[in-house]
A = this chain, B = another copy of it.
Amino acid sequence: MTDTVTPTASGAAAAATPHLDDVAAAARTAFGATVASTAAERARWLTAAADALDAAGPELVPLADGETHLGATRLTGELARTTAQLRLFAAAIVEGSYLEATIDHPDATTIPPRPDLRRMLRPLGPVAVFGASNFPFAFSVAGGDTASALAAGCPVIVKGHPAHPRLSRRTAEIVAGALAAAGAPDGIFGHVEGHETGIALVRHPEIRAVGFTGSLHGGRALFDLAVSRPDPIPFYGELSAVNPVLITAAALDARADELASGLAASFTLGAGQFCTNPGVVFVPEGSGFAARVAAAVPSDAAVPMLTDGIASAFADGLGALAARPDVSVVAGDPVQQRGTGAPVVLSTTTTAVREEPSALLTECFGPSTLVVEYSDVDDALDAIRAVGGSLTATVHAQPGEELGDILAVLTEIAGRVLFAGWPTGVAVSWAQQHGGPWPATTSIHTSVGVTAMRRFLRPVAYQDAPDAALPAELRESNPLGIPRRVDGVLELP
């Protein structure tokens, strides 16, 4: 596609296509204002964007459905999640503890003696955001990366996803218009398009960090660009996960049908196009669980996939798996027809997984799951270690059952460990962790939930500053009433 920059001033959709340098320069200028803005001001900006997006729902949901086939019900819910997310960040920044405000008064008795030191987190600068195709609202133009960067005080330049260009442009117009109407500085939000423009964005001197949700291949390429700059910048990528599930013999004995229908509903949800899709499920050998899952697949689960590229990659991945002598096709046709995401259940053994983990455990983005039969729990854990990093890991056991090493192994490979339910569905809250060891994500921070802001902040300490020169958050009287650590002791207002 051509590389263009979409003007975001409301109503100017068909007008000129400014150069990326201009958008970046505007973001840089805006940063001078956002870095000095109060949390209350930014909370108003975020809330205004949320209100405008909610009001535009009747226009945006059909636009999204036309480009993604995800359906009005799912998209209406996703838009509500997106605006709730903006409002959650608005509330969190006013509470103020995200700043990690810390005051150490002078102390001549420490080794070495310490001066007056006051530390808080400050915004990094303009941030580039690459949205995902599978969440056209919640992980796209006005999604979690954008919300967390704006909340932190960083201007944002979104690189629109080519799978939903009209929705991206319209969302960008609405967000930019709402931010401007709420008094946010010009240039705080920009929207650009095109593959080459995306590359130039990651390399642009004004960009201080990148948020990305997408494929391992594309994410790694952009990561490599970010870290090979003359001045490397943080690249926060959420890339790939197979989200292993371990079912104990006791749990399967007690509730095989419930587990089979739960798994079938989870791996087929939204044509399986979730980064938290349960892609590999470990069950005791000889349990017949794969056949139960196959029988539980909803009859209406085959739906068009997001893009031709995703559909082809899904069919290619399934085809490679199904062609292996150590993999059985339990249900569905790995040769997918006409871009339809038709559910497929495969099965194999832990021996096969351990022998060639990368071939068997690569993410197949779509409605498939691989049931792996294990001889005992240690055998299953050995295979799970071979899975590598994942966003989630799930154990289904019976109440009171001894978990042994299960918890240690699942904690080691994943950022979120579930003891009930299925990993699809990512709540947006303070305690959420969406990220895990490589290749799940590229960083030690989450991309979902309040603490996602930490990615776009850096600490600054002020030494022996006059009280009047300090940011309000660090003045002796604590005028904003935020939580602070004073001389090592955490204090609530």
0/1 per residue, A425-437, Cβ < 8 Å to B?
1111111110101
From B80, B430, B463, B488, contact of A430 by CB (8 A): B488
0/1 per residue, A441-469, Cβ < 8 Å to B?
01111100001001101111111111001
Give the distance in Å from the alpha carbon of A341 to the alpha carbon of B27 in the complex: 45
Instruction: Tell me how far the C-beta of A468 lies from the nearest C-beta in chain B, rounded to whole angstroms.
Output: 9
Instruction: Tell me how far the C-beta of A127 lies from the nearest C-beta in chain B, rounded to whole angstroms.
Output: 12
Instruction: Give every chain B residue within 8 A of A421 (Cβ-Cβ).
Output: 115, 463-464
From B419, B425, B459, B464, contact of A466 by CB (8 A): B419
Instruction: Tell me how far the C-beta of A190 lies from the nearest C-beta in chain B, rounded to whole angstroms.
Output: 20
| Stoichiometry (number of copies) | 2
From B103, B104, B429, contact of A427 by CB (8 A): B104
Instruction: Give every chain B residue within 8 A of A463 (Cβ-Cβ).
Output: 416-421
Q: Judging by beta carbons under 8 Å apart, are A81 and B112 in contact? A: yes
Instruction: Give every chain B residue within 8 A of A411 (Cβ-Cβ).
Output: 35, 122, 460
Instruction: Tell me how far the C-beta of A54 lies from the nearest C-beta in chain B, rounded to whole angstroms.
Output: 11
Instruction: Give every chain B residue within 8 A of A124 (Cβ-Cβ).
Output: 444
Asked if A414 is at the interface (CB within 8 A of a chain B CB), the reply is yes
Give the distance in Å from the alpha carbon of A102 to the alpha carbon of B431 in the complex: 5
Q: Judging by beta carbons under 8 Å apart, are B419 and A433 in contact? A: no
Give the distance in Å from the alpha carbon of A427 to the alpha carbon of B463 in the complex: 10
Stretch in A158-166, A227-235, A244-252, A253-261 with 4+ CB within 8 Å of B: A227-235
From B84, B389, B457, B490, contact of A444 by CB (8 A): B457
A-B contact sample (7 more), CB < 8 A, given A110-B427, A418-B463: A35-B411, A104-B431, A114-B428, A227-B227, A415-B458, A416-B462, A421-B464
Q: Write the residues of chain A forming the contact surface with B, with a CB cutoff of 8 angstroms.
A: 32, 35-36, 77, 80-81, 84, 91-92, 95, 97, 100, 102-104, 110-115, 117-119, 122, 124, 223-224, 227-228, 231-234, 388-389, 399, 403, 407-408, 411-412, 414-421, 425-433, 435, 437-439, 442-446, 451, 454-455, 457-466, 469, 483, 485, 488, 490, 492
Question: What are 9 contact pairs spanning A and B, CB under 8 A?
Answer: A84-B110, A104-B431, A104-B432, A112-B428, A117-B431, A223-B227, A415-B461, A417-B461, A418-B463
